[in-house]
Structure 1
Amino acid sequence: MGHATRCIPIIHELIRHNFEPVIASDGFALQLLQKEFPKLEILELPSYNISYSKNPKKLRLKLLKDTPHLLKTIKKEQKVIADFIESTPISGIISDNRFGVRHNNIPSVFVTHQLQVLSGNTTWLSTRIHQKIISKFNECWVPDYASEKNLSGILGHIEGFNAALTYLGPLSRFEKQQLEIKYELLVVLSGPEPQRTFLEEKLFHELINFKGNICFVKGVIEQEQSISQHKNMSIYNFMTSIELEKAINESEVVLSRSGYTTIMDLAKLEKKAFFIPTPGQFEQEYLSEKLESEGIAPFCNQDEFCLDLLAQLKNYSGLKFKENRLNYKKLFRLFQGE
């Protein structure tokens, strides 16, 4: 979902610069983008169907078992794109971590903050594979600052990789607004099952005695939005971008996964946050540790969370970074030919 939401500002800018975007995705990500851009043409892609083991320690084994399916899906992606280009002339492709969404005869861009892919003692291998994929694209756009003070750390900043890299600065669909605080705590869930549900159940139990108003967004994309009230907790199955932007601006503190897109959003809105990384996701664990070590935001492991830990927030600065202005006209020249 994070890959989809961080594409929203790029899609808006493409439209503003007189391009006609075609949205290609699958599953919940496609549903979300359809809700955001109901008038745009849609191309459904084959699904990677990546899920996570109930036991985080077995994550790498499961991903290894899923590799044959992943490779087949990449080939299917390439065929879908090739067939589409035969019937629809296009000027460029922007792929956010869709490995097979490119074409040799069309300017193709890969969007990623993972120039280095953390996977424990196999980081060298996962990084090499990812860099090989990136090198097949004309350009690689990295949604982060190029400077030493940045969001992605060693993920998006690596020496010795000779790809055509462009640092975009953080990408966020949101804008900071000066709104009156309505919620003392905003909970935003995301990520793959079954860990999303595990965290939902734990937070419902642990936050029952929280003093203050809570807005709880489950992150479950369904046909219709549902809203319920339980004591001091307003519960949503999902929110649109506009609704979530307003809710974050109206919240004093945000509790969420430490997904990179979430971090970019909260940095844009200059929010205090408490992070709970998805178990077994090395990237989220690294980002949580990085932000805590820099005095920006506390975190804990999923099994360790309890209400008292939120008191740590007073000792952290929150996510406050310099504003970044991206020259989209220059960025999109790749798609305009000679």
Structure 2
Amino acid sequence: MKPNKTILVAPLNWGLGHATRCIPIIKALLESNYNVLIASDGAALSLLREEFPDLPFKELPGYNISYSKKKHLFKAQMLLQSPRILKAAKQERKLVNQWVSEGLVDGIISDNRLGVRSNKVYSAFITHQLEVLSGTTTGISSKLHKQIIKRFDACWVPDHKAKPNLSGRLGHPAKPPKNTTYIGALSRFEKKELPITHDYLILLSGPEPQRTLLEELLLESFADTDKRVLCVLGKTDQPQSRYKHGNIEIVTFMTSKELEAAINSSELVISRSGYTTIMDLAALEKKALFIPTPGQYEQEYLAKKLSAQGLVPYVTQHRFNLQALGKVPLYSGLRLGHETVDLKELFAHF
């Protein structure tokens, strides 16, 4: 009897969103009787190993992306890091080709890892950014990204093709690559009617130092209130621990089941406007306040887009105060507008 094919699933370690949106894909692969090999680095790999302790894994070279403390230096710092990113992509390409040659991999799903592909097996690339916003260099960055996408057999965009959609111009440029397939919004969560146990849920993630800067800002802001606050730090590379900071309950990280329950049982979510977070909150139909990462064009665009549509308000990090929460009831909150594509049909290409 022929053994089941093994699919390599490799998310980028840039925040936790790339890893978490791979969770429903991994589950669908396992349900379709594929074997799964997980590959990543850092916090993303730690998270997936917590979620799937029985699955084999490989460690890939880290892109080691960091943000500037100052918004106006964001683009310059990203440009300075590009040689290191390209070097890591070249190293991971070499590793992946070796695994394919050794018969360890029969198909590839790369979530934004530039070098995780092979000409010998079907390789799919997941991204919601067909247009890469970078200010005055958006045209150049988008063109370069499309050149990378064309090297894959397929580009899977986790969004709805028709309006209303979640990614806007990011995932719906005038001319998407010919290998693009819209696979519907991805979320590891399901909406459940649970008693509200927290007034506010703070979700932290993303590269340093901005993750810590937002943590310090929010903990200080809520320290002297009588609100029930739960703060999830998003530190999957540390042991799980819980402790109190005044009236605030702090957890280093949560598994998917724990976080699903926490969001469903919270009145309002405060978080970055990362795309995976947006998909998760839409699936759970939660109201939120977004604080985009300073200088990150994608998050700033998504926050402004959703605010203009009357769905979720946002506030810039340097202007955050508790009064900003008063805007939330004026917005309708997020919802998924369309049915999700059956992932199992996509797997037939493998």
Q: With structure 2 as the length reference, what TM-score do the two structures score?
A: 0.94
Q: Counterpart of 2:259?
A: 244
Q: Counterpart of 2:233 in structure 1: which amino acid?
A: K
Q: 1:132, 1:227 → 2: CA distance?
A: 45
Using the TM superposition, give the Cα deviation of residue 113 of structure 1 relative to its aligned residue in structure 2, in angstroms: 0.2
| Structure 1 gap segments, 5+ residues each | none
**Structure 1 residues 304 and 334: alpha-carbon distance in aligned structure 2, compared to 1, 3 A threshold:** same
CA contact (8 A) 1:210 1:307 kept: no
Q: 1:66, 1:150 → 2: CA distance?
A: 32
CA contact (8 A) 1:187 1:214 kept: yes
Q: Counterpart of 2:246?
A: 231
Would you say 1:305 and 2:297 are equivalent positions?
Answer: no
Q: Counterpart of 2:208?
A: 193
Using the TM superposition, give the Cα deviation of residue 313 of structure 1 relative to its aligned residue in structure 2, in angstroms: 0.7
Using the TM superposition, give the Cα deviation of residue 323 of structure 1 relative to its aligned residue in structure 2, in angstroms: 4.8
Listed one character per residue, the Cα deviations across residues 18-68 of structure 1 (whole Å, up to 9, x for unaligned) are 000100100110010001011111011000011011112111111111121
What's the secondary structure of 2:47's corresponding residue?
A: helix
Using the TM superposition, give the Cα deviation of residue 291 of structure 1 relative to its aligned residue in structure 2, in angstroms: 0.5
CA contact (8 A) 1:298 1:313 kept: yes
Q: 1:216, 1:299 → 2: CA distance?
A: 19
Q: Counterpart of 1:289?
A: 304
Q: Counterpart of 2:78?
A: 63
What's the secondary structure of 1:43's corresponding residue?
A: strand
Q: Which deviates more, 221-230 or 295-304? A: 221-230
Would you say 1:167 and 2:182 are equivalent positions?
Answer: yes
What's the secondary structure of 1:115's corresponding residue?
A: coil
CA contact (8 A) 2:185 2:340 kept: no
Listed one character per residue, the Cα deviations across residues 127-161 of structure 1 (whole Å, up to 9, x for unaligned) are 00000000000000000011121100000001223
Q: Counterpart of 1:141?
A: 156
CA RMSD after TM alignment:
1.1
What's the secondary structure of 2:223's corresponding residue?
A: helix
CA contact (8 A) 2:100 2:106 kept: no
Q: Of the candidates 34, 54, 65, which is equivalent to residue 69 of structure 2?
A: 54
CA contact (8 A) 2:39 2:60 kept: yes
Q: Counterpart of 2:46?
A: 31
Within 5 Å, give how 1:316-327 maps onto structure 2.
316-327=331-342
Q: 2:226, 2:326 → 1: CA distance?
A: 12
Q: 2:224, 2:310 → 1: CA distance?
A: 27
Q: 1:317, 1:301 → 2: CA distance?
A: 20
Would you say 1:150 and 2:161 are equivalent positions?
Answer: no
CA contact (8 A) 1:222 1:237 kept: no
What's the secondary structure of 1:228's corresponding residue?
A: strand
What's the secondary structure of 1:22's corresponding residue?
A: strand
Using the TM superposition, give the Cα deviation of residue 205 of structure 1 relative to its aligned residue in structure 2, in angstroms: 1.1
Q: 2:95, 2:212 → 1: CA distance?
A: 33
Listed one character per residue, the Cα deviations across residues 170-198 of structure 1 (whole Å, up to 9, x for unaligned) are 10111111101111110000111000111
Q: With structure 1 as the length reference, what TM-score do the two structures score?
A: 0.97
What's the secondary structure of 2:65's corresponding residue?
A: coil
Q: Percent identity?
A: 52
Q: Counterpart of 1:80?
A: 95
Q: 2:116, 2:21 → 1: CA distance?
A: 17
CA contact (8 A) 1:46 1:77 kept: yes
Would you say 1:208 and 2:223 are equivalent positions?
Answer: yes
Listed one character per residue, the Cα deviations across residues 243-286 of structure 1 (whole Å, up to 9, x for unaligned) are 10100000010000000000000000000000000011000000
Q: 1:258, 1:92 → 2: CA distance?
A: 31
CA contact (8 A) 2:108 2:121 kept: yes
Q: Counterpart of 1:9?
A: 24
Q: Counterpart of 2:285?
A: 270
Using the TM superposition, give the Cα deviation of residue 89 of structure 1 relative to its aligned residue in structure 2, in angstroms: 4.1
Using the TM superposition, give the Cα deviation of residue 210 of structure 1 relative to its aligned residue in structure 2, in angstroms: 3.3
Q: Counterpart of 1:92?
A: 107
CA contact (8 A) 1:257 1:275 kept: yes
Would you say 1:258 and 2:273 are equivalent positions?
Answer: yes
Within 5 Å, give how 1:83-122 maps onto structure 2.
83-122=98-137
CA contact (8 A) 1:81 1:102 kept: yes
What's the secondary structure of 2:73's corresponding residue?
A: helix
Q: 1:223, 1:64 → 2: CA distance?
A: 30
Using the TM superposition, give the Cα deviation of residue 91 of structure 1 relative to its aligned residue in structure 2, in angstroms: 2.3
Q: 2:318, 2:138 → 1: CA distance?
A: 25
Q: 2:123, 2:346 → 1: CA distance?
A: 13
Q: 1:137, 1:76 → 2: CA distance?
A: 17
Q: Counterpart of 2:150 in structure 1: which amino acid?
A: S
CA contact (8 A) 2:149 2:177 kept: no
| Structure 2 gap segments, 5+ residues each | 1-15
Q: 1:329, 1:259 → 2: CA distance?
A: 26
